[in-house]
Amino acid sequence: MRVNIMAGIKSASPNKMAHRVLQHVCFVDSWIVRTVQAYKQTVRNLGKCGVRRICYNFMPVLDWTRTDLTRRWPDGSEALAYDADDLAAFDLFILKREGAEKEYEASALARAQAIFEKMTEKDKNVLQQNIIAGLPGRMVEAYTVEEFRDAVAQYKNVSTTQIRENLAYFLKSIIPTCEEAGVYMAIHPDDPPRPILGLLPACSTRDDVAALLKAADSKHNGITLCVGTYASSPQNKASMGYGVTVGDCGWLLLVVRCCQALFIKVE
């Protein structure tokens, strides 16, 4: 069996956001061609409907991940939030992922344990639900901790190189169809832009973006410049301003989801 990472697709028209999700699947080799062909037909259908931008991600198992879906702010408003220590508490003491403790520093282990020990059963259930099925677009049909643990375990030995190879294969397969249909692909960075639950990010740094653009040299292969995600990674040197240095990477598709212009430089 070859594991191929394919993620949920968010289809967006210029005037109205409409989310349609294709689920992540783990392919046996003979299924890959059929799945890519189905994706190509979806691209053609979207083009005929006037949808010109597809914002997608390539995250395995999870979609955009948050640990709190109702974080209360001083003004009374609520927002989504991601807390690395809360996720570690889930990973270590609720999911109980094999070998997880080796991926955390001693200080992080201590913080996670302190958080877990203060949790009520309700707190544990809410955190579990937020991570496994909190946001639309679940990548796997995992509704229990056991099912979710098994889904994560399938990617235990998948390397960054393999992820890039899978993404390159996917893009080389579909970009010609995108060009014919007048549709532009814009990958959203892994959110959060870091390894979580042992799952490596497919696109979160300038090197990832450079590799992605090189894989399919076409203006129909671009990125969603989610400034909040890219800027939250310490590996990216974010800077204020309205210019983006691209170097030899070519063309960028910019879909800015923030009112303030905060761009990263991709060199």
**Is there a single domain that holds both residue 166 and residue 211?**
yes
**Is there a single domain that holds both residue 18 and residue 77?**
no
**Is there a single domain that holds both residue 87 and residue 183?**
no
Residue 14 lies in a domain: yes
**Is there a single domain that holds both residue 184 and residue 250?**
yes
Find the helix or strand (DSSP H, E) in which 88 lies.
Answer: helix 84-89
**Is there a single domain that holds both residue 42 and residue 171?**
yes
Q: What is the mean pLDDT of residues 113-120?
A: 97
Domain, as residue range, for 195: 9-61+157-264
Residue 141 lies in a domain: no
Residue 99 has pLDDT above 70, yes or no: yes
**Is there a single domain that holds both residue 86 and residue 127?**
yes
Band of residue 141 on the pLDDT scale cut at 50, 70, 90 = low
Residue 241 has pLDDT above 70, yes or no: no
**Complete DSSP assignment for 224-244:** ---HHHHHTSTTS-EEESS--
Number of domains in the chain: 2
Measured CA to CA, the distance from residue 186 to residue 261 in angstroms comes to 18
Residue 213 lies in a domain: yes
Residue 238 lies in a domain: yes
Q: What is the mean pLDDT of the chain?
A: 77
Question: Domain of 196: which CATH number?
Answer: 3.20.20.150
**Is there a single domain that holds both residue 237 and residue 256?**
yes
CB distance 9 to 56 below 8 Å: yes
- What are the tens digits of pLDDT across the range 57-87? 888 888 888 999 899 999 999 998 999 999 9
CB distance 1 to 138 below 8 Å: no
Strands (E), 153-202: 184-187
CB distance 67 to 87 below 8 Å: yes
- What are the tens digits of pLDDT across the range 82-98? 999 999 999 999 999 99
Quote helix, strand, coil % in the chain, to nearest 5: 40, 10, 45
- What are the tens digits of pLDDT across the range 27-67? 334 456 678 899 999 999 999 999 999 998 888 888 888 99
Measured CA to CA, the distance from residue 119 to residue 139 in angstroms comes to 27
Q: Considering 79, 99, 134, which residue would you say is the last residue of a domain?
A: 134
